[in-house]
Amino acid sequence: QTKVRGDPVEIWHDSLELSNLQLVSKLKNPSNSCSVDVSTVWWEVTGCKESCIITACEFTVSLWKSLDDWQWRKVHTWHFTEIPVLQIIPLWDACNLVCIALGHLEIREIRLLFSSGEDECLKQSLVKSGNIKAVLGLRHKRLVCSNGTLHDHQVDLMTFSGSGRSKEKQTLMSPEETILAFAEVQGMQDALLGTTLMSNIVIWNLKTGQLLKKMQIGTAYQASICHKAYSDMGLLFVVLSHPHGKEIESMGSPIFRLIVINPKTALSVDVRPYSLPQGHTGRFLDGDVKDNLAAAVLTSGTIAVWDLFLGHCRALLLPNSDGNWSFVKWSGTDSCLLAGQKNGSVFVYSY
Amino acid sequence: CSESDLGPISLNWFEELTSEAPP
């Protein structure tokens, strides 16, 4: 593991205020396998609950403890032998609990990783197996996933106990079509949103399991992925990305889009696209939205950051000498951007 | 956005949709 501080990155200079994205540390996984994901998680290490970084390679998941001055030390590693790891699924307010998805192209298994308080012994258990289409970790140690095909489609909400040893399962009403992604609704903890293959946005009541509404958002944006929703003044503001979106000349390359929906009438209006600055191209590959910040890895290997309120692209992180960026996450506890490359490097930028 | 674009807005949409939706 090496530590770096202060390397400047390219900032988008055409905005009124320049943002500050500064490299503060670098984690290097010595494993030769391909890196796939990164996140942050609360974990109790030597008796203290602290925010740790968790990284995933094809067959290992590692937990990194923060040392002084932005240095990190690997403290735990879970090993997998049969199915490769695809993604980390954080359960945001949980401690000593995190889920991971395993599979080849599609998710085949979801596993819970945890350690018991007494001996800090690492454990894992199978949470769900099958043909899993979409999954999201929620607050209050909950996980939602959709699985099965059209005829046996099922949406499950699981709640884990504090130690991770047991879980309660509730079934949410199925929209009877493939769900592409789930998103939490900020400010409304019992509401859950989903986008479907047939360009619908669906809303559930997590407490009752009811499917409240299915709303068509237009076929121009097929296969949209919902990242975050905000409820305000009776309206729902939804941030979407379009992995299959084509470049529209008048708008440049819209990577994210903000739409507003009236859930009562199912009518929606475009608010704004979040496009790349002129001279930059690429389509959405991976991304993360936290509060008013959206970050995306593009097919060009660049990371772009937008302020959702201001509408500007605020920073561009070009591929560095180690290679292209392949995944990006906001840290759960502070405004740090975690940017990863396939070779095992994870860079931490303060924003 | 106005009501002409989005129709009548309800601040209690979540509770109202919950009471209208099939259990």
Tokens of A184: 């939490």
**pLDDT tops 70 at residue A248:** no
Out of A210, A231, A269, the one facing B1 most closely (by C-beta) is: A269
Rg over CA atoms, chain B: 11
Amino acid symbol at A89: I
Out of B1, B11, B23, the one facing A260 most closely (by C-beta) is: B1
The rounded distance, in Å, linking the Cα atoms of A92 and A198 is 29
Q: Which chain B residues contact residue A233 at CB under 8 A?
A: 9, 11
Q: What percent of chain A has pLDDT over 70?
A: 89
ipTM of predicted complex = 0.92
Q: What confidence tens digit (pLDDT) does each residue in B1-23 have? A: 556 789 999 999 999 999 999 88
CB contact under 8 A, B18 and A210: yes
Do A269 and B1 form a contact (C-beta atoms < 8 A)?
yes
Q: Which chain B residues contact residue A203 at CB under 8 A?
A: 17
Kindly indicate the confidence band of residue A18, based on its pLDDT and cuts at 50, 70 and 90: very low
What is the average per-residue pLDDT within A252-259? 85
Residue A231: which of A179, A189, A285 has the closest Cα?
A: A189
The rounded distance, in Å, linking the Cα atoms of A326 and A35 is 9
Q: A226 or A149: whose pLDDT is higher?
A: A226
Q: Which chain B residues contact residue A264 at CB under 8 A?
A: 7-10, 13, 16-17
CB contact under 8 A, B18 and A213: no
Helix (H, G, I), strand (E, B) or coil at A124: strand
Contacts of B15 (CB under 8 A, 6+ apart): none
Kindly indicate the confidence band of residue A48, based on its pLDDT and cuts at 50, 70 and 90: confident
Out of B5, B12, B22, the one facing A269 most closely (by C-beta) is: B5
pLDDT given for residue B2 in this prediction: 57
pLDDT given for residue A302 in this prediction: 93
pLDDT given for residue A4 in this prediction: 47
Amino acid symbol at A300: S
Q: Which chain A residues contact residue B23 at CB under 8 A?
A: 208, 210
DSSP code, position A220 = G
Q: Enumerate the β-bridge partners of residue A70.
A: none
Out of B7, B18, B21, the one facing A265 most closely (by C-beta) is: B7
What is the average per-residue pLDDT within A199-206? 96
From the number of C-beta atoms within 10 Å of its C-beta (0-12, 13-18, 19+), residue A86 rates as buried
Kindly indicate the confidence band of residue A13, based on its pLDDT and cuts at 50, 70 and 90: very low
What is the average per-residue pLDDT within A139-157? 89
- Backbone dihedral angles phi then psi of residue A148, each to the nearest 5 degrees: 90, 175
Q: What percent of chain A has pLDDT over 90?
A: 65
pLDDT given for residue A253 in this prediction: 66
Residue of chain A whose Cα is closest to the Cα of B21: A212
How many C-beta atoms surround the C-beta of residue A133 within 10 A? Answer: 20
Q: Which chain A residues contact residue B11 at CB under 8 A?
A: 233-234
Tokens of A348: 């931490």
Do A145 and A93 form a contact (C-beta atoms < 8 A)?
no
